[in-house]
Amino acid sequence: MPNNKKFTNVEKQIFFGDYPLISQPLTVKTAVEAGDVIGVDASGNYGKYNKSATYTTPYAIAYEGAEASKQCSAILTAYLVESFVLLPSDPTEKLKLKQELRKIGLFLR
């Protein structure tokens, strides 16, 4: 039996407008998926943002998924399509996080 796999390429627009895009690889301490907000802790470590746990300060958006202790392509500044970013479902938390992202040059539309 052949091991051929079929792949479907779905293009997804994640950038909006011409705001400067700056990205860099970050080593994350926790697993992240594309669109996750990456937070930083008091010691300068990066991981999936969680307002009530360790990585409480928003720093970047994951461009791709990565396992814990691996490098992840991270977007530091950009104008992004909001549907790409994995935001909290609570409207109040969502608004607060969007405001924090604006402060670091990550704009969502």
Which pTM does this prediction carry? 0.85
Backbone angles phi, psi at 97, to 5 degrees: -65, -40
H-helix segments, 1-109: 91-103
| CA torsion angle 17 73 29 59 (round to 10) | -30
Question: Residue 54 and residue 64: Cα distance in Å, rounded?
Answer: 21
pLDDT in tens, the chain (109 residues): 556 666 555 566 788 778 889 999 999 999 999 999 999 999 999 999 998 889 999 999 999 999 999 999 999 999 999 999 999 999 999 999 999 999 999 999 9
Please name every residue paired with 108 in a beta bridge, in sequence order, or none if there are none.
80
